[in-house]
Amino acid sequence: MSTRDTSPARDFIADTLALVLFFTLAGALNERFIVGMSWDEVLRARLIGAPLMVLTARPYGLWRGWLMARCAGTGRVSQILWDSLALLLFQVPIYVAIIWAGGARGGELLLGALGAVAYMFLLGRPYGIFLDAVRALFSLPPGGQKPMSPGG
């Protein structure tokens, strides 16, 4: 048995729980108070987003862990920068594809992409801290700790 006492199912559940909880709240607050959507519209948007969050949570957890382990230093600025870049680089292309599929073109697509860049960059580190806290509740290592490397 490896020194990493975990299962793929536990990793999936932890990463999915973290993403769904964090971005359901963050998305709802953004949609209601920044975008100005009604609560009914927010509910519909969150229900549409939930399956996408379930599909992308574990791949994001793997991506973030890989990027943090290889690029982020131990300093606070490095952790903030790489956590923010991890979320931005992973989520913005997905968001742009979603709004493009929803009909956004030209200026709408550009504004949507720029808004997503700002939002993901701003939320990157808070989400990374939250993800690591949820992973700790499942007795999993935080992202970037090279959980799949030999000997640890």
Write down the domain spans for the chain. 8-137
Answer left, alpha or beta for residue 90, where phi above 0 means left and psi between -120 and 50 means alpha: alpha
**Using one digit for the tens of pLDDT, what is the confidence trace for 20-66?**
999 989 888 888 887 777 888 888 888 888 899 999 999 999 999 99
> What is the pTM assigned to this prediction?
0.82
Residue 109 CB coordination number (10 Å): 14
Task: Give yes or no for residue 127 having a pLDDT over 70.
Answer: yes
- Percent of the chain surpassing pLDDT 90: 51
Largest Cα–Cα distance of the chain, in whole Å?
Answer: 54
Number of alpha helices (DSSP H) and beta strands (DSSP E) in the chain: 4, 0
Which one, of 120, 52, 69, lies nearest residue 91 by Cα? Answer: 120
Q: State the Cα–Cα distance between residues 33 and 113, nearest whole angstrom.
A: 19
Structure tokens at 68: 């943090």
The per-residue pLDDT for range 90-125, each reduced to its tens digit, is: 999 988 888 787 777 888 888 888 888 999 999 999
Q: 27, 115 in Cβ contact below 8 A?
A: no
Q: At what angle do helices 106-137 and 8-29 cross, to 10 degrees?
A: 130
- Listing DSSP states for 21-86 in one string gives HHHHHHHHHIIIIII---HHHHHHHHHHHHHHHHHHHHHHHHHHHHHHHHH--SSHHHHHHHHHHH
Q: What share of the chain is helix, strand, coil (3-state, %, to 5)?
A: 80, 0, 20
Per-residue model confidence (pLDDT) at position 146: 46
